[in-house]
Structure 1
Amino acid sequence: MAERSKQEVIEYLSRAEVAAVGTSNMGTPRQRMMHFGADEDFNIYVSSMKGDPKVIQWSNIPETALLIHQGDTFLEMEECEIIGRAEIVHDKADRLKIIDLMSTRSPIVANFIKIGATDRLEFIRIKPFTVKYRYVPEILQGEKPTIFEFPENRESFSSWDDVKAKARAWKQAVRPLSLTASLVPIMVGGAFAYSASGSFNFFLFFLTLLGGLLVQAGTNMINDWKDAERDSENVEGIRPFTGGSRMIQLGLISRGDMGFVGIALSCIALLIGIFLIAVSGWGLVPLVLYGVLAGLFYTNESGKFSFINLAPGVAEFLIATTFGVMMTMGAFYVQTGYFSIASFLISLPVAILISNVLLINQFQDVNSDIKSNKNTLVVRLGKRKAKNVLIVNFVLAYVIIALLPIFNFVPLTLYVAFLSAPFTFQAIRYAHKNHDKTPGDLVPANAHTAITHLFTGLLLVFAFLLTEFGFVYPLIYFIASLVFIFWVWNYIERQRKTMINFRVSIKEKG
């Protein structure tokens, strides 16, 4: 009786407790033992925490293999091999059915049901392409295994699903939240140029903004490429703030591809820079070279030259001035054809606030940075002194904003930038309270520091628009800015809650 019916194989699956679940890590297999449930159509269900690396892998590389094995001795062994494709279940009705199924199959899910925390779990459905059942004594006698094929499941997935999955991986590699580091200074420089000259070239501004965003994205990828080994050891990093994108570590993008695309984006940005030099003037040359130098050698592979290991604060100063002074003054120069003391001074708060974003994001990485000889400012100073530097920087940024109108460098409307002060206060409060606690405790400080930089920059733009457009158009811009801030804040909150829920669930489970 080698051939088994579907019902017999399903009954076998119901007797088994766990399955070895295999996924792909860019061609390298990864396995994990997981509790599972099965329905009458051989769909397999497993669960994991939201934000878990396994879930991220499934979102991008859904091909999955399972092996369910039972038997005390070799001659008693029976197993079921399932090859299929995973999908995360989002439909509420389907989730409820899966929760009911898994409540008796998984003690972990049962515990989450008990504490009312199933919203912290992701449920994954693995739709089978092939199900193969084997019973060793029969195989040794030359009997064939029982095989069920499900061609309809193969056809239910579109080739576009893979394209969208790859796009999601590259989006994470870009680190969209970090692109505000380029967006803010270029917008401030462009708005100040219009306020100072009364003219504005939208095409050149678009090219400047595109070049800046490409520089930021390319720098992110180059840093991931060079820091792959270091970041793989970083178990305390908090996405989306620290520890890189982790797309290499998760096997979603190869290290070679990450480096290639990072360099390619940087080269495109350089070509845009050369065009802007040809159109606007040679004054951009030192700014472009400065940015290239800072981006390429901010960090490097262990044992190779990097500004981080050169001297205290050198790397942080270069990055802050690149994504503060240089980009602001560069955007101003492209529009006006000249530099000014005022454009330099207005860039300083932007530079200081982005340096704080960089600084606060180093706190969670400090242990792994010490192990990998990556001497960031927090590593050199220690968390307490670095926290004090952070607070002083916040105060200094607002002091500069307060003084510039007094000395007639900028209009009095600049004082609207103080509307971001509540976020700054919260950033200081959380940093002071939690700087020496767990990485998760410091997340609110990361979030409020990032929002302070973004909101202050957008308010500086608003201040210059008020001097040129009256009230209606600046009001529209202000409302759009608030919507954008809300979107960024919501994104950060989702990430923060996922991490907090994970920590709370682990404690409760323990």
Structure 2
Amino acid sequence: MGIRSKEEVIAFLLRAEVAAIGTSNMGSPRQRMMHFAVDKQFNIYVSSMKGDPKVIQWSNIPETALLIHQGEEFLQMEECEMIGRAEVLKDHTDRDMAAQLLKTRSPIVAQFTEIGALDKLEFIRIRPFIVKYRYVPEILQGEPPTVYEFSENRQSFSVWDDVRAKARAWKEAVRPLSLTATFVPILLGGALALASIHQLNIGLFLLTLIGAIMIQAGTNMINDWKDAERDGENSTGMRPFTGGSRMIQLGLISRADMGFFGLLLTVIATLIGIYLVFVSGWSLIPLILYGILAGVFYTSEKGKFSFINMAPGIAEVLIATTYGVFMTMGAYFVQTGSYSLQAFLISLPVALFISNVLLINQFPDAESDAKTGKNTLVVRVGKRAARNILISCFMAGYIIIGILPILGFAPYTLYFGFLSIPFALQAVRYAWQNYDKNAADIIPSNAHTAINHLFNGLLLVFAFLLTELDIVIPIVYLAASLLLIFWVWNYIERQRRVMNDFRNAFKN
């Protein structure tokens, strides 16, 4: 038959049910069979769940290859190879068009259309650069394939698209939501210092906050770098609270780059710490050294030393002391030049609640961690005992808040911290019911535990601002805190609903 017309090639594509779709993993291919649709311009449309690793890859490395194959016997085989660039559709009109094309070809889109949950799906359009159609008998006779090129599609993308994609990948590597673990104790230490000496050096406070955020971001990257091979063996899938950013496993950042920038941020944070030592006092050195050691050796590659594999509870104590006690006391020391028993006691609820965030996040990955030799506390003691530890930490944190004003270590405004109890109760309820069920069932407990830590910490800061400042500033601070809590809750809730709707679609 010779060269096929565009209409004939499109007719072949419409006869095919699925395509093998390949994306780049830093030079190594990643493939998946997916249902697809095609329009008259040879644009290919596919769909997947929001947050799916394939969608994340497309958002950052959009170059895509497709192979559509038909024919049971060799001499009947025909195939179409396409090379192009993917884009995740955001415009409502584009999404509606993609949904209309896909609902008769994709069981997933058909099911989500039926239950009215298309907003839980991402739609991807792959614009082809080149299309090659081959029919085996003709190729064997020396005839060339049918080739169509679409140079206009190459020109429709800007280099800034790739720059923005790379920026998104590095944002995920930093794990911005996790930085609240640093934000809370530094704010609390600053508020305690303000209440103690009635002044606050804003420059030193901001430098302390920047240094602390850098050490945590660097630690996040170092842990990803060290855990890349082990987390790559995680066969339980990704969920909103799965440990690590997965940027290495998705091929969006190389392991070498992750390790380099993690170490670079740690070095910069150390230099900031050295400066703070010179301006505030040598007694800050033990806290800085402790934080660096905890970050660098918290986890490690398989078979090498790490605190998480050292003994039960060591990792949790490290997190509690670093992101609870020592950061609070460090921020206090930078402002006052001394430590105080009050700062230590006030930091304990923050320490207990951040250790709970670490603990509950271990539940979804417990099976995979056990297989890959990552001996978290949940792996060591089991999910039932770990659930009871979680509940005990919640109780201990609120008991401390309750008795500190009575003992004279805090103002009675500290009781504003009790406003975060509803999140703790919800976290306990979901953990009690679902600790030994499917990993996705415990996601609400993950969410409420994280929000409880953030909200409680912000309320403790509010308690000390009320005693020191005119009412306007604390009220503005409280309003900003509530907006932040709402944003975080809404973000996490969207992730949870996506997972839940996806499961329910196929239960029905």
TM-score, with normalisation over the residues of structure 1? Answer: 0.96
Structure 2 equivalent of residue 411 of structure 1? 411
Structure 2 equivalent of residue 367 of structure 1? 367
Q: Distance in 1 between matches of 2:141 and 2:431?
A: 69
2:153 is aligned with 1:188: no
* Aligned-partner residue type, residue 401 of structure 1: I
The residue correspondences of 1:35-434 to structure 2 (distance < 5 A) are 35-236=35-236, 239-434=239-434
* Aligned-partner residue type, residue 268 of structure 1: I
Q: Distance in 2 between matches of 1:73 and 1:436?
A: 48
Structure 2 equivalent of residue 454 of structure 1? 454
| Cα deviation digits, residues 280-337 of structure 1 (max 9, x gap) | 1101100000101111111111211111222221121011100011100000000111
Identity of aligned pairs, percent? 69
Structure 2 equivalent of residue 26 of structure 1? 26
1:260, CA displacement in angstroms?
Answer: 1.3
* Aligned-partner residue type, residue 92 of structure 2: K
Cα distance, 1:205–1:61 mapped onto 2, change above 3 Å: same
SS in 1 for 2:439: coil
User: Does the 8 Å CA contact 1:226/1:301 hold for their aligned counterparts?
Assistant: yes
Structure 1 equivalent of residue 470 of structure 2? 470
User: Does the 8 Å CA contact 1:238/1:440 hold for their aligned counterparts?
Assistant: no
SS in 1 for 2:441: coil
Q: Gapped runs of 5+ residues in structure 2? A: none
1:8, CA displacement in angstroms?
Answer: 2.2
1:162, CA displacement in angstroms?
Answer: 0.8
Q: Distance in 2 between matches of 1:217 and 1:309?
A: 22
| Cα deviation digits, residues 448-506 of structure 1 (max 9, x gap) | 11111101110111111111112111000100000000011111111111221222234
Q: Distance in 2 between matches of 1:497 and 1:261?
A: 34
Q: Distance in 2 between matches of 1:88 and 1:50?
A: 10
Q: Distance in 2 between matches of 1:74 and 1:41?
A: 29
Cα distance, 1:237–1:399 mapped onto 2, change above 3 Å: farther
* Aligned-partner residue type, residue 2 of structure 2: A
Cα distance, 1:367–1:107 mapped onto 2, change above 3 Å: closer
Q: Distance in 2 between matches of 1:260 and 1:123?
A: 35
Q: Distance in 1 between matches of 2:144 and 2:372?
A: 53
User: Does the 8 Å CA contact 2:111/2:505 hold for their aligned counterparts?
Assistant: no
Tell which deviates more after alignment, 237-246 or 452-461. Answer: 237-246
1:108, CA displacement in angstroms?
Answer: 3.5
Structure 1 equivalent of residue 7 of structure 2? 7
SS in 2 for 1:448: helix
SS in 2 for 1:23: strand
User: Does the 8 Å CA contact 1:175/1:240 hold for their aligned counterparts?
Assistant: no
User: Does the 8 Å CA contact 1:228/1:249 hold for their aligned counterparts?
Assistant: yes
* Aligned-partner residue type, residue 483 of structure 1: L
* Aligned-partner residue type, residue 80 of structure 1: C
User: Does the 8 Å CA contact 1:356/1:393 hold for their aligned counterparts?
Assistant: yes
Q: Distance in 1 between matches of 2:503 and 2:387?
A: 24
Tell which deviates more after alignment, 377-386 or 276-285. Answer: 377-386
1:194, CA displacement in angstroms?
Answer: 0.7
Q: Distance in 1 between matches of 2:280 and 2:442?
A: 43
| Cα deviation digits, residues 157-213 of structure 1 (max 9, x gap) | 111111111111111111111101100000000111011001111111111001111
Q: Distance in 1 between matches of 2:444 and 2:105?
A: 37
SS in 2 for 1:391: helix
Q: Distance in 2 between matches of 1:115 and 1:192?
A: 52
Q: Distance in 2 between matches of 1:275 and 1:237?
A: 43
Q: Distance in 2 between matches of 1:67 and 1:93?
A: 28
Cα distance, 1:107–1:370 mapped onto 2, change above 3 Å: closer
Q: Distance in 1 between matches of 2:74 and 2:239?
A: 45
Number of equivalences: 508
Cα distance, 1:239–1:78 mapped onto 2, change above 3 Å: closer
Q: Distance in 2 between matches of 1:283 and 1:482?
A: 36
Q: Distance in 1 between matches of 2:374 and 2:31?
A: 32
* Aligned-partner residue type, residue 303 of structure 1: G
* Aligned-partner residue type, residue 20 of structure 2: A
Cα distance, 1:237–1:223 mapped onto 2, change above 3 Å: farther
Q: Distance in 1 between matches of 2:363 and 2:14?
A: 47
Q: Distance in 2 between matches of 1:14 and 1:239?
A: 34
Cα distance, 1:43–1:215 mapped onto 2, change above 3 Å: same
1:14, CA displacement in angstroms?
Answer: 1.8
- Cα RMSD of the aligned pairs, angstroms, is 1.6
Q: Distance in 2 between matches of 1:237 and 1:308?
A: 22
1:13, CA displacement in angstroms?
Answer: 1.8
User: Does the 8 Å CA contact 1:234/1:243 hold for their aligned counterparts?
Assistant: no
Cα distance, 1:299–1:346 mapped onto 2, change above 3 Å: same
Q: Distance in 1 between matches of 2:163 and 2:504?
A: 35
